[in-house]
Amino acid sequence: MGVRGELFTTEISLENRTYFFNVKENRTGDVFLQVVESKNVEGSGFDRRAIVVFEDDMQRFLQGLENSLSYIEKNRKARLKEAAAKPATEKRRFVKKDAEATPRTRAAKPASGDKPKRVRVVSKKPQN
């Protein structure tokens, strides 16, 4: 038996969160799964949350998880199908940007003869 009853552990790191899947055994020999989410919080370290699923409840837990994943997949496909059915003019959205506007203020409307400039919107999320 490993540290604090750990039999197996694996981790998945995503953006600013890390998930740990720990299979553990308690003092009475009961095996359980502990799922821990560790989130980096600016200035205060990490925020950790955990759930525990015991071996006897594992099948029902997995059924609930599979049902949830199935719903998410069906919903994603329905949204993609709906987006594909929309006219091309509704799919694209461009942000108008005035050269004199500052980043934190709203841009002034262009004069009637001026064409709006196309701006590419870039995500502020860091890429790993």
For 26-56, what is each residue's pLDDT tens digit?
A: 999 999 999 999 998 887 888 999 999 999 9
Q: Considering the domain boundaries, does residue 52 fall inside one?
A: yes
Q: Considering the domain boundaries, does residue 19 fall inside one?
A: yes
Which residues face 38 on adjacent strands?
A: 18, 48
* Cβ burial 15-42 (10 Å sphere, 16+ → b, else e): eeebeeebbbbeeeeeebbbebebeeee
Mean pLDDT, to the nearest integer, of 74-81? 92
Give the pair of three-digit tokens for residue 14: 């995503």
Q: Considering the domain boundaries, does residue 77 fall inside one?
A: yes
Q: Considering the domain boundaries, does residue 40 fall inside one?
A: yes
The pLDDT > 70 percentage for the chain reads: 65
Helices of type H across the chain: 58-85, 88-91
Q: What is the CATH classification number for the domain harbouring 9?
A: 3.10.450.700
Backbone phi and psi for residue 68, each to the nearest 5 degrees, phi listed first: -65, -45
Give the pair of three-digit tokens for residue 67: 């049902």
Q: Considering the domain boundaries, does residue 8 fall inside one?
A: yes
Q: Considering the domain boundaries, does residue 122 fall inside one?
A: no
Total count of domains within the chain: 1
Whole-model pTM above 0.75? no
Burial class of 5 by CB neighbour count within 10 A (0 to 12, 13 to 18, 19+): middle
Q: Considering the domain boundaries, does residue 46 fall inside one?
A: yes
Range of the domain at 59: 3-88
pLDDT range class, residue 94, cuts 50, 70, 90: low
Q: Considering the domain boundaries, does residue 95 fall inside one?
A: no
Mean pLDDT of the chain: 80
